[in-house]
Structure 1
Amino acid sequence: MKKITVTATILIAGTAVAAFAHGGATGTVKERMDAMLVMGKAVKAVAPMMQGETPYDAETVRDAARLFQRHAGESMTKLFPEGTGGMPSEAKDEVWTEWDRFAALATQLEEYSEGLERAADNGLGGMNGNASMGGATMMGGGSMMGSANSMMGGSTMMGGNNMMDAAAIAEMPADAAFAMTTQVCSACHERFRAEED
């Protein structure tokens, strides 16, 4: 199964679980759960386009990217004040014990979604077919999409000092930019979101 499909599937499944888990959430916890739910729905709307299952629509991609931007960066981190963990929150304690890493991923989501917005007019580049761009395989082993270590919270890409900027993401085909953006979501969920039993 392709990496973009796996990432989108995880995010979509998490949206359904989150909708059920919202019962009993209030205040800031409910606000952040609602924000995550909205972003998950945006992923669900865009993922079939990226897989070639539905017609590609650049405006829908731009709308999703703008929505991610509204809920990323400081907008996201302000929804995680200390003392808002525990049920019904799905946030792990690591959000607060590894705050710099969490905040870096929130910032990275903002940056990558800005790049995704700008990449929307680039159309699809064939990510669902493991295509390459500029000689670098996008989904391959030692390439741009890289291994789990480099993409999923390692020090080199996700939340690290060598983060790509929006301008670099904007040069990619939209499906590659979408994959990069949703990888940030997955990295954050993997590290900071409690698994449902």
Structure 2
Amino acid sequence: MFELLRIVVRGVAAATLACVGAMLLATLVPVAFGWDSQVVLTGSMRPRIAPGDLVVSAPVAPERVRPGQVVVVEDPARPGTLLVHRVVRRNADGTLTTKGDANSTEDLPAVSATGVRGLARLRVPKMGLPALWLREGRTLPVLGAFAALIALGRLARTTGTRPRHAAERGGGHRTSGVRATRVATQRTRPAPR
């Protein structure tokens, strides 16, 4: 029973690490091809995109952006910051009106075409939580997540075998197969007369 529990724990730990690794790859591989990623900091796009989610966006020509698409844009209300919101409409002057799904009002002012940074293509849930926690000054959850990953790594690595005692190995001395064969051969020779 204990051995079965050990196998299950090891499997769950390995599967969890594999999922985290796959999520990390899903965020890093697109970046290698010129895409970008942003950690969502607010709940303005709930329920589909939550704080701590990572949004991976592909470069897009502003004229190709259509209403209904989620875009990454420079926030016209707060220069120097980015905004992940949905396009509500394309205006006659070429600007885009955006809005967070959870917000009751549209974003003001409208986003200029040059402010479009990318088209959201992938959401990786919870992958940006450590960055969000650090931004909020919450180091304890970051340390906890790091410790959990280390513990999972150790659990996944354990082989589940116990070292054998010297009595189970046939004495306290370890011999290689070759040496044991020589010793056996020497013992079978008749003594000289």
Bin the TM-score by the shorter chain: under 0.3
Bigger fraction of residues in helix: 1
Bigger fraction of residues in strand: 2
Q: TM-score, normalised by structure 1?
A: 0.25
Q: TM-score, normalised by structure 2?
A: 0.25
When Rg is computed on C-alpha atoms for both structures, the one with the higher figure is 2
